[in-house]
Amino acid sequence: MQDKIEQVKDTIVEEANSILDYKFVFSDQISITVKGLLFVALALILTAFILKLIRRFITRKMPENDKIKFISVFSYIRWLVFLVIFLVAMDASGVNVTAVFAASAVLLIGVGLALQTLFQDIISGVFILVDKSVHVGDIIELEGKVGRVLDIRLRTTRAVTIDNKVLVIPNHLYLTNILFNWTENGVETREVVNVGVAYGSDVELVKKILVEVAKKHPKVLKIPEPTVLFTDFADSSLNFRLVFSLNNSFEARFVQSDIRFAIDKAFRENNVTIPFPQRDVHLFQNKE
């Protein structure tokens, strides 16, 4: 009875070994056994567990904002580590990694060219997160488009425009274009409204009207006070610039519109004329 049990055990072990030693052959130089596949899978699972412990250890005392940024960067580092461990495990399991690279060289070149922009976006995203040149909530202008930043990721940045449309900005544009951060120095920004009046107008009265209009608007800051610049003696008008401050530049165009309405009304009440371009036309008649 004991001999039969031993024979059954030996049979099971032999069958298990035959299964583990079963070889998947992809070419004359590339092959891997079931045992090798299990070894690679175990190495990747163990690596994932260790990386998770490392991430928790590093981020345990980080502020929430820094933790989110670190996890974003760490996620890409993790994939790089997985790739290295995968190649090492494949080599340790008997796979000719050099032959794999040689067989897939053309494919890897094509994939590399296709992912070139993706890598640029990722590198730019790392720079943004580390450099902190742009934060969530900042109002930015890029390629003539203005938006409030909603989310910064490694590949893209999402921002919402004044019209409540979402901009998905590839991060590499930050490196190849000039970026205007309207709120880098704080939420307070200076805005302007330009207006021209007819020659002969009382410039002191114009200045007084413009300042009063700005002060009456509820969203214009009292400090610093609005000011008026006499900018130019133009061809058809005396040009002025009303300068005022807001603490929400995202609404600047609406405030500017309100102020223009108020200026037009105040000018009409005080008989101040906004001129239109005028030209003198001289007609010469040929006498024959």
For residue 225, the domain's CATH number is 3.30.70.100
Last residue of a domain, one of 81, 103, 125: 103
What is the reported pLDDT for 161? 85
63 assigned to some structural domain = yes
110 assigned to some structural domain = no
275 assigned to some structural domain = no
Per-residue pLDDT of the chain (288 residues; tens, 9 = 90+): 656 666 656 566 566 556 656 665 555 555 566 677 777 788 888 888 888 888 888 777 766 666 666 676 677 777 778 877 777 777 776 666 666 555 555 555 665 655 667 677 777 777 776 677 787 888 888 887 888 888 877 778 888 888 788 888 888 787 777 888 877 776 788 899 999 999 989 999 999 999 999 999 999 999 889 999 999 998 889 999 999 998 887 788 889 999 999 999 999 999 998 887 766 666 666 665
Rounded Cα gap, residues 89 and 154, in angstroms:
29
111 assigned to some structural domain = no
What is the reported pLDDT for 193? 94
Number of domains in the chain: 3
Looking at the fold, whether 200 and 174 belong to one and the same domain comes out as: no
Rounded Cα gap, residues 229 and 214, in angstroms:
14
Supply the range of the domain harboring residue 218. 189-269
217 assigned to some structural domain = yes
For residue 160, the domain's CATH number is 2.30.30.60
Looking at the fold, whether 20 and 87 belong to one and the same domain comes out as: yes
Written as one string, the DSSP assignment of 239-259 is EEEEEEEES-GGGHHHHHHHH
- Cα dihedral 202→216→186→72 (10° resolution): -130
What is the reported pLDDT for 28? 58
The partner residues of 169 in beta bridges, in order of sequence, read: 157
What is the reported pLDDT for 53? 87
Q: What are phi and psi of 215, to 5 degrees?
A: -65, -30
Contact 250, 183 (CB under 8 A): no
